[in-house]
A and B are shown apart, each in its own frame.
Chain A
Amino acid sequence: MKTNLKIGRRTLLALVAATAAFPFLTPADASAASLADAKAKGKVVIGIQGDNAPWGFVNSTGVQDGLDADIGKAFAEHLGLQVEFTPLAVANRIPALVTGKVDVLFATMGMTAERAKTIQYSKPYAGNVLSVYGPKDKKIAGFDDLTGMSVGVPKSSAMDTAITAGAGSKANILRFDDDAANIQALIAGQVEAVGGNQFYGDRLNAAAADKYETKFDLVTLYNGAGTRPGEKDWNEAINSFIDKIKADGTLAKIYAKWMKRDVPSFPDALPDIPFTVK
């Protein structure tokens, strides 16, 4: 009568042992796939934003869409592979990459020196002007004017970093899960200003015409694809792909479709952000 119990015990003990060993494990390889692995499997797993239109979002038919999706599809095509998108929240992007959940990130990754310590950037393929947005009747010309104000930012975004650096000790910074919550907080009047990207203007205008405006620019961010540091294969494949779409007009076409503007001019180098594996 004990047979069943024993199996239960063993399973459980194994489970317990695994759980106990959990925090002390130092996995050598979190099953990160190399370019050759991806080619063998026939697909590339791309980390992308799921709700950041027009960059990367899941459209109303449940399909991944946006600038990043089109570029991701073109990249897979360039490699001759199937594409698989993994939608990620802003704060999940880097962890998903370094833990091997995705092969590369086309996830509106603004290129910052801080992030470049953790991931390998490609050459930039898009640009994004980050600014502080607020109601027209409020005077906000610089960080000093944010003193005592509540300012919303999406958690762990480049706006978060820029505003925390500029007004971290002066303003009451509220960090929301994503752009959607951040924009809503401003419209609902829960914050007096927000840090946002170049699309916040359109979004806010659609919500309340002529009520909000750009107050001052924080930084122009260039978006690059992200790969794990040291992985030369992925990095080189992406850079040659980006060179190709810049030259043959594919990028311009995708840019016109989603951004409704021309491709910006890209810098050849950014301080402390290498585009290639050293």
Chain B
Amino acid sequence: MSYSLDFSVVVARLPELLLACLATIGLSLAGMSLATVIGVLGVIARRSRFRLLRGLVIGFVELIRNTPFLVQIFFIFFALPQLGLRLNPTVTAIIALGLNGGAYAIEIIRGGVDAIPKGQVEAGLALGLHRAQIFRHIILKPALRTVYPSLTSQFVMLTLTTSVCTSIAAYELTSVAQKIEADTFRSFEVYFSITILYLIISSLMMGIFALISRFSFNYPVK
């Protein structure tokens, strides 16, 4: 018997796939926003005077970074309802992506914050700035600039991770691809095409991140 490749099934369902690409991008952007918020708040909590709070953040970061995303999303979707918390697939996906990305963001941003010379903060204090001002202008902003490349590449990884959300039946590119595969049995053709779509999405994202960096960080460093 012979098996010949036939990409026409993919072409026929392209509108559906492109719509699903938008869903994947939407899921990613929502996940990134949540991750950034968790990242910044986490770094603030990590520098808190309260030992318990610091410990909680460290525990959270280690827990998330040392367990698979699939297990995390299964836990939220299948196990939390046992405790009375029931979230639909899309919300589950955004929260799982945000928590996962957030844990990495905390570590990345903290690295940038730690790299700020102590003298800068002392200079801020000498100028009479209060704590919030110092954190925002002297610590966070320059730190974010330093960590921008690592943070954005982490976000591209987050975008690729959205494909795992198919296991809780969230609406995104991979789940739509699996539906098409089920209808047509053209597994290789479908997944090969989807892989290219993901490559385009991640390249676009890297391009946009590079553009943003050019426009927002174009003031001189020294």
Contact = CB atoms under 8 A, between A and B. Distances in A.
B3 A99 contact: yes
A176 B167 contact: yes
Interface string B169-184: 1000001001101100
Contacts of B207: none
Nearest to A228: B1
A188 B88 CA distance: 11
Contact of B185 (A26, A28, A94): A94
B19 to A, nearest CB: 16
A190 B78 contact: yes
A27 B2 contact: yes
A26 B188 CA distance: 12
Contacts of A95: 185, 187-188
B124 interface: no
Interface stretch (A48-56, A77-85, A152-160, A259-267): A152-160
Interface in A172-209: 174-177, 181, 184-185, 188-190
Nearest to B86: A189
Given A174-B89, A188-B78, A190-B77, A156 B5 contact: no
A147 interface: no
A231 interface: yes
A143 to B, nearest CB: 19
B78 A23 contact: no
B185 A98 contact: yes
A29 interface: yes
Given A25-B5, A32-B1, 9 more contacts: A29-B2, A30-B3, A174-B89, A177-B166, A188-B78, A189-B81, A190-B77, A190-B86, A190-B88
Interface of A: 23-30, 32, 91-92, 94-95, 98-99, 118, 150, 152, 155-156, 160, 174-177, 181, 184-185, 188-190, 228-231
